[in-house]
Amino acid sequence: MNFNQADKVQEYSLNGVPVGILVVNGNDRTCIPLVAGNTDYQAYLKWVAEGNTPLPAEE
């Protein structure tokens, strides 16, 4: 997943519990689990490590 081309990268919660990372890219909404072995989540962590910041979390 290419986070640098995303319209929006945001942590999100359900019923007050953080459940994933939402990446909006054009007409695509990708929901990424907070699971270490998921390669999309690994790409997100790399994107953050490179100095990027997601939008504030929302429900």
Partner 1 sequence: MMALGNLNVDTITTSTSGGVLGAGNASIMKNRLINGACVIDQRYAGSAASSSYSGYVIDRWSVAQVGTTGKIIAQQNAGSVTPPIGFTNYLGITSQSSYTVGTNEFYSIVQTIEGYNIADLGWGTANAKTITVSFWVQSSLTGTFGGCLNNGGSRSYPFTYTISSANTWEQKSVTIAGDTSGTWGTTTGIGVQIWFNLGCGSTYSGTAGAWASANKVAPTGAVSVVGTSGATFYLTGVQFEIGSSATGFEYRIYGTELANCQRYYWKKAGQYPSANTTVGAGMLYSANDARACLANPVPMRIAPAITFSGSGFGFERPNTFLGTIGSPAAANYSPEASLIYSGSGTSSGTAGDATFWYITDNTSYIAVNSEL
Report the interface residues with partner 1, using CB under 8 A. Answer: 1, 12, 14, 19-20, 22, 27-33, 35, 37-41
Smallest distance, partner 1 to C-beta of residue 19, A: 4
- Closer to partner 1 at the Cβ: 12 or 48? 12
DSSP β-bridge partners for residue 10? 22, 55
**Which of 55, 32, 53 is closest to 43 using CA atoms?**
32
Smallest distance, partner 1 to C-beta of residue 53, A: 20
Smallest distance, partner 1 to C-beta of residue 39, A: 6
Element (H, E) at 42: helix 39-49
| 11 half-sphere exposure, CB direction, 13 A CA radius | 11
